[in-house]
Amino acid sequence: MKKKTVLVTGGAGFIGSHLVDRLVLKNYKVIVLDSLKSGVKKNLSKSFKRITFIKKDIRNFKTYEKYFKKVDLVFHLAAIADVVPSIKNPEEYFYTNVQGTLNVLKACRKHKVKKIVYIASASCYGIAKEIPTSENAHVNTEYPYALTKRLGEELVIHWGKVYKLNFTSVRLFNVYGPRSRTAGAYGAMFGVFLSQKLANKPFTIVGTGNQKRDFTYISDVIDALIIISKSKKSNKEIFNVGSGIPISVNKIAKMIGGKKIYIPKRPGEPEITVANIKKIKKVLRWRPKVNIKNGVKIMLNNISYWKSAPLWTPKKIKKATKDWFKYLK
């Protein structure tokens, strides 16, 4: 039986590299497209010899569209995912997250790719009124990163409607696990805390620390993506992927273990985010397996990964978030 060919954009990133590892284990022929602006090759060390790696930027359509030839399935993860800097450089986020997504869709259409799985973001819900938040909840983007991810999703949906491209959009809630970064969405908080723990520095907690997030372990996310890619029931659908259980930042800090320091709360950020995952449970029979206690234990066992990670201090955070406080009052 012929191997299926899968192309993963952003495959050297946190989520992308875990997905690549799983696809290789499942004996797919894997092509990774990554500019390495935020992804790192070492994330692919387990699988590198068994994949085709293409260093290209998704903004430059003509340089990479040929690699979509004879591809069966595309997972589109490539994006600028650092939330806070989006307020300062919205144009860069638009070119990558929106124009880049358009380019990927053009390549899929040109080469008749059977399906694209778009990695969207739960940040599109903004400060949600519906808790837990379902896929039908009102979309209310609060900052440029969230807007560009939502616009990318709109493009994918439109291409599905007009050009009959099979797609699934996956709205992820706060993914964490080994290889997570120390910048980006709330899942990056783990990397920040672990880097601070290694340096014997206090954890920088935004606001009171009582705010709650839906932290989802990486292996559960990869399980969901694999199921979605295989099931016809997922075609032209949007799914939330989360744990469905909100956990406070203070509780995470306590589980990791260390001193804490509190810094000003950022405007535009909700007090609670939690996924309503009834749809994916019912339609695809997926459910999360790794609870927060076991997930944190795995992170602590892999703490050495963050030895060379950027170390955030209150002073650095204040400087990095200056424009955030300026515009989002």
Cα–Cα distance, 227 to 2 (Å, whole number) = 20
Cα–Cα distance, 286 to 291 (Å, whole number) = 15
Cα–Cα distance, 309 to 323 (Å, whole number) = 23
Per the annotation, the verdict on 217 as an active-site residue is no
Cα–Cα distance, 269 to 256 (Å, whole number) = 23
Half-sphere exposure of 24 (CA within 13 A, CB side): 19
Task: Confirm if 258 and 314 have CB atoms less than 8 A apart.
Answer: no
Task: Confirm if 33 and 54 have CB atoms less than 8 A apart.
Answer: yes
Provide the token pair at 81: 């995912």
- Given the DSSP bridges, would you call strands 260-263 and 167-172 parallel, antiparallel or unpaired? unpaired
C-alpha triplet 13, 148, 177: angle, nearest 5°: 30
Cα–Cα distance, 60 to 62 (Å, whole number) = 6
Distance of CA 13 to the CA centre of its chain: 9
What backbone torsions phi and psi does residue 173 show, to the nearest 5 degrees? -110, 115
Measure Cα distances from 59 to 124, 169, 250 in Å: 22, 20, 39
Residue among 243, 256, 126 at smallest CA distance from 175: 243
Alpha-carbon dihedral sign for residues 299, 302, 307, 310: negative
User: What percent of the residues of the chain are helix, what percent strand, and what percent coil, each to the nearest 5?
Assistant: 45, 15, 40
Catalytic residue among 28, 93, 125, 145: 145
Sheet containing strand 237-241, strands side by side: 51-54, 29-33, 5-9, 73-76, 115-121, 167-172, 237-241
**Catalytic residue annotation:** 145
